Amino acid sequence: MTITSTASTAARQHTLRERNLELVARAVFESPSPLSRADVAAATGLARATVSTLVDQLVASRLVQELPAVTGGRAGRPAVPLVPAPRSVVGLGLEVNVDYLGARVLDLTGAVVAEHVEPGAFHDSDPATVLGRLGALASELVRQVADDGMSVAGARLALPGLVDPRAGRLAVAPNLGWSSVEPVPLLGLSLPVEIANEAKLAALAELAGPVPRSFLYVSGDVGIGAAIVLDRALFLGERGWSGEIGHVVVDPAGPRCSCGAYGCLEEYAGKEAILRGAGLGPDAPLGDLLTLLPGDGEAAVRAAGRALGSALADFVNLVDVGTVVLGGLYTDLIPWLRDDVLAVLDERVLASPFVDLEVRPAAAGPHAALTGGAREVLRGVLSDPSAFV
């Protein structure tokens, strides 16, 4: 005689409910247009009664919202469209960069409900001081959205360097002058926080728009980071440290980089390098450079484009992607550097005679890593909605 454990049976039933909740939530969140309960049942293969019960739970938990019923000209109960609930459960994106701190809150519809970006100069800064300041900014935003009835599911912290998300540790960020830092405790936040590389989160923000399934994302600022997206998923490498294109050497006889090597791409195409080439101070705002274009600043931007194209050619030859998405300051500079980037790619990419290489501006907007971080938090909500039900 076989005896089935009651606890085991309950666990399996609980797991099945969690899985079905995720199926229903994904059907609602990933549909390009609102679905009814009947539509969700058809999309998931679940029984209508099961879908109705699960939708009721998602609505009660403020993850899903019901719109006014619509009639389709047929007999029977009018269909009730279902959409992600606005201003309910939200995600928090945080970032430390060389010249700013940022915090942004997104709701389940993808709308920005609160944000704060604070300029600064964080070269060779103290991690405890900087992260404590960012934690204070984040705490204020959390308080604001909580006062408006929203619940923060968690946060992602974007950092410009080698990040080990599993260990919660920043190995090194040369432009910040940080190494071997555990950032999360220094924030002092009483909510779940994970860390990630800035360029990788910015690349994930691009996936919300019309981009190819595979592309190389390049984030230009004082430092230059990159993320490789293959079939809509990040290629992380063995330790999660892929994409450090800013430290690809474009001239071994070039100037010394903050990482200790010589002739890195950042010394030719980073923000400070471009500003110097245009005769501006290293802390000048990007707007000052844009006023020199076209004109006195164009030579510096074109030189950066050639250096960038050289590094990108190596990446494209190795990874075999046909689209390069330029983010950060490159989004604004792309009218003046795209031709030089493409010229070098055409010259140095072996497959260029056989494929159409595309260089396009990023579409996620300024400080895209903040958006990507908040979206990753909300993606976690979608993958386990039972935690909120």
According to the model, what pLDDT value does residue 239 have? 87
Domain's final residue, options 37, 69, 84: 84
pLDDT tens profile 12-30: 556 888 999 999 999 999 9
Q: Is 374 inside any structural domain?
A: yes
Q: Yes or no: say if 275 and 267 are a contact pair by the CB < 8 Å rule.
A: no
Q: SS3 for 203?
A: helix
Q: Which helix (H) or strand (E) holds 53?
A: helix 48-60
According to the model, what pLDDT value does residue 71 have? 73
Residue 15, strand partner residues: none
pLDDT tens profile 322-335: 999 999 999 999 99
Using alpha carbons only, give the angle 111, 143, 84 rounded to the nearest 5 degrees.
30
Q: Is 1 inside any structural domain?
A: no
Q: Taking phi first (over 0 means left), then psi (-120 to 50 degrees means alpha), and beta for anything else, what does residue 12 get?
A: alpha
Q: What would the two tokens of residue 97 be? A: 């960069």
Please check whether residues 223 and 323 belong to one and the same domain: yes
Average pLDDT estimate for 75-96: 91
Average pLDDT estimate for 334-361: 96
CATH number at residue 344: 3.30.420.40
According to the model, what pLDDT value does residue 13 have? 59
The residue segments making up the domain with residue 286 are 211-361
CATH number at residue 51: 1.10.10.10
Band (54; pLDDT cuts 50, 70, 90): very high
Please check whether residues 230 and 258 belong to one and the same domain: yes
Please check whether residues 217 and 296 belong to one and the same domain: yes
- Which residues are CB-neighbours of 117 under 8 A, at least 6 positions away? 100, 101, 102, 103, 367, 370
Domain's final residue, options 45, 65, 84: 84
pLDDT tens profile 113-166: 999 999 999 999 999 999 999 999 999 999 999 999 999 999 999 999 999 998
More confident residue, 77 or 323: 323
The model scores a pTM over 0.85: yes
